[in-house]
Amino acid sequence: MTTNANMRALSYGSEQNGKRVRVSTSETELTRNIGLPALLSSARDREEPRRTRPDRSRPGRTKSTGKQKKTCSLDDRVYSAADEYKDIVEDIIDEPREKVDGLEDDLKCEQKTVGRHRVEVEALTAELEQQKFRLDAVVDAEKEVVRVADRSSILQLGHAMFKLEEALKKGS
């Protein structure tokens, strides 16, 4: 893993004074210096920015603009390479974290959906039990009508029919 990260870090290079600077990526250097030391040692191998000749009358200033020259010290280049290496490592680490966070969010949504379905199933089960109870009442009333009809008592038959009508009204 470190070799791949080093290869990426070393192949990116950096920008100094608006120019792209390439870092040495020799295989022997990578095998000798794995990790941050490879970046630190390769910082010495970077090309120096092109310098303009200073104006002779004012030492330390550029000829064309007369402004103070910007020099890039070795420490600045080392810190720049270390920052690039750190950014690459953070990108490598953050990618799986983002995937895990996304999967956790998906799991929470699915759990909420399952919870809603569970509540709906429980409500439908309760309603089904209530319908079953009403149906049992209607069946019992019909059996009573048949039993009373066998005895041929009109008063009892009328009372059984009244119970059947009551059961049917409650069932609907």
Q: What radius of gyration, in Å, describes the C-alpha atoms of the chain?
A: 43
Q: What angle do CA 49, 50, 53 make, to 5 degrees?
A: 135
- For residue range 65-114, list pLDDT tens digits in order: 656 656 667 778 888 888 899 999 888 888 888 888 889 999 999 999 99
Q: How high is the pLDDT of residue 8?
A: 47
Contact yes or no for 60/52 (Cβ under 8 A): no
pTM for this prediction: 0.35
Contact yes or no for 46/76 (Cβ under 8 A): no
Rounded Cα gap, residues 66 and 62, in angstroms: 5
Residue appearing with tokens 């192949």? 11
Torsion on CA atoms 132, 134, 139, 144, rounded to nearest 10: 150
Contact yes or no for 134/171 (Cβ under 8 A): yes
Q: How high is the pLDDT of residue 172?
A: 63
DSSP of 97-147: HHHHHHHHHHHHHHHHHHHHHHHHHHHHHHHHHHHHHHHHHHHHHHHHHHH
Q: How high is the pLDDT of residue 10?
A: 47
Domain spans, the chain? 123-171
Q: How high is the pLDDT of residue 45?
A: 53
> Which residue ranges in the chain fall short of pLDDT 70?
1-72, 150-153, 171-172
Burial class (CB in 10 A: 0-12, 13-18, 19+), 160: buried
